[in-house]
Amino acid sequence: MAAEKMTMDANVFESNVGGITVRGQAHSLSAWFVLALRLMMGYAFLYAGLSKLLAAEPFTAEGFLLHGANPASPLAGMFTWMVNTPWMLSIIDVAVPFGQVAIGLGLLVGAMVRLAAFFGATMMFMFYFANWSVEHGMINGDFAYLLVFLAVAAFGAGRILGLDQLIERYEIDGQPLIEKYPKLDYILG
């Protein structure tokens, strides 16, 4: 059973991509740091989404896309198209605040963490290009947060004091959900 192997080497991780294998061993305190990253990003996104939803004026990305997105960005044309396409702007105006709330809640309670982290990383990717600034190099806060989301997903942070560990063990016909539907590993964890 895969879980038995994971238990034996719980702090060891290894990956092979393109013929290159990397192997590492995490410290036993690593779980606490991964949990802290998940909770930090969850709080940040929940707060950002709620501030938009509860603001006196309805949220719109129009001002940011018109005046905040850097015209030097490689995606400047796409941001211009977004703001000049009413149906797309309407989708963004709903997707950003509700997406931030959903991502934040998912991370805080540890449910569907990989899915939440994927969408969080996607948002940070878009923010990275909207806030394009390479005067001090290619790395900025948006890029760092994108990597935090990817780390939260990669380490299965929803299994650390999160609902994902309970959801995965839920049994259907006497079989844990994650074993019955292994592709859920891309969403849960």
Residue 110 lies in a domain: yes
Please say whether the beta carbons of 119 and 152 come within 8 A.
Answer: no
| Mean pLDDT for all residues in the chain | 89
In a domain? residue 181: no
Reported as a single tens digit per residue, the pLDDT across 70-106 is 898 999 999 999 999 999 999 999 999 999 999 999 9
Q: Is residue 184 part of a domain?
A: no
The count of structural domains within the chain is: 1
Q: pLDDT tens, 141-160?
A: 899 999 999 999 999 999 99
Q: Is residue 21 one of the residues assigned to a domain? A: no
Confidence grade of residue 129 (pLDDT, cut at 50, 70, 90): very high
65 within a domain of the structure (yes/no)? yes
Q: Is residue 59 part of a domain?
A: yes
pTM: 0.85
Is residue 186 very low, low, confident or very high in pLDDT (cuts 50, 70, 90)?
confident
Domain residues for 106?
34-158
| 23, part of any domain | no
74 falls within a domain: yes
- For residue 6, the one-letter residue type is M
Q: What is the mean pLDDT of residues 1-25?
A: 69
Average pLDDT over residues 18-28: 86
